[in-house]
Amino acid sequence: MRRCLCIALLLLAVIGTGYSLSQAQNLQKNDACKQENTVVTAPEKRPMKTIGIIGGVSWASSIEYYRIMNELVRDKLGGVNSAQILMFSIEFGEFSKQERLADKGDWTLMTQTILDAARRLQRGGADFIVIASNTLNSLAPTVEQEVGLPVLHIADATGAAVRKKGLHTVALLGTRYTMEQPFYRDRLKKYGIRVVIPSEKEREYINAVIFDELCANRIRKESREGYQKIIERLRKEEGAEGVILGCTEIPLLIGQKDVAIPVFDTTAIHSEAAVDFSLQGK
């Protein structure tokens, strides 16, 4: 019925104006286009940035990154919203061989692996990079320089969290490399934070638990108790006001409920920093 009415009105327009039927149809189309072009639309919101995660180092903590990021986006945006993520998961068995070379001072293969992962994420459309490992954030400046994408350094996110808490002296637990090398402590110094580390024997123990147990997602009560004793000693003897869990596997073993001083879970802190950066401008 509506179609018949439109045709009748069009015929009347043809008779009244002297236009041919085809001319009248063209005029009608042009008028419709003008009306469409005058419709005012609200400005589009900027979409969230795509987070590129270099994971698999190890897979046990990469799961936590993925879970935390998605939960944070859901909490911030509501509904069924989730994080926009690309992840490249490194095969840890082969990578662990490269780590042994790095322990001897040869970082060539390990650096190439991380750069390759970053480039894959870049080609996939990542806007920035998150390296889901405290130790491997030592390569963040190299990745930024070689790949050209921003890298959110885990120590910067952690330093900001410690400073926000108002603490000045914290214990650092992590892989032997993270505890002993200056790349992490130097970043924290920029935030006015003094770092204390476990003894050599304690560092060996912490490192062994990480690689022999936590990287395989094996959680042992005895290891938790061992970590608790080390943290308590650092609190009493070294004046630690808080403790940084400076390996993304350690939060699988120990949390705030297990320790008397503030705990800084670098997996959660890093994930939150990534989500905040992703949602800037949204």
User: One digit per residue, pLDDT tens: the chain, 282 residues?
Assistant: 444 444 443 434 444 444 444 554 554 555 544 444 544 454 455 589 999 999 998 898 999 999 999 999 999 999 999 999 999 999 988 887 887 877 777 889 989 999 999 999 999 999 999 999 999 999 999 999 999 999 999 999 999 999 999 999 999 999 999 999 999 999 999 999 999 999 999 999 999 999 999 998 999 999 999 999 999 999 999 999 999 999 999 999 999 999 999 999 999 999 999 999 999 966
Say which amino acid occupies 180.
E
At the topology level, CATH places domain 51-153+270-279 in: Rossmann fold (3.40.50)
What confidence score (pLDDT) does residue 17 get? Answer: 45
Run of H or E including 246: strand 242-246
Instruction: For residue 140, give Cα distances in angstroms to 41, 77, 109, 128.
Output: 42, 29, 16, 11
Q: Are 52 and 118 in contact (CB under 8 A)?
A: yes
Write the Ramachandran bin of 40: left for phi over 0, alpha for psi from -120 to 50, otherwise beta.
Answer: beta
The CATH class that applies to domain 155-265 reads: alpha beta
The pTM (predicted TM-score) of the whole model is 0.80
**What residue ranges do the domains of the chain occupy?**
51-153+270-279, 155-265
Long-range CB pairs of 123-129 (<8 Å, 24+ gap) are 124/52, 124/86, 125/50, 125/86, 126/50, 126/51, 126/52, 126/86, 127/49, 127/50, 127/51, 127/52, 127/278, 128/49, 128/51, 128/52, 128/152, 128/274, 128/277, 128/278, 129/52, 129/53, 129/54
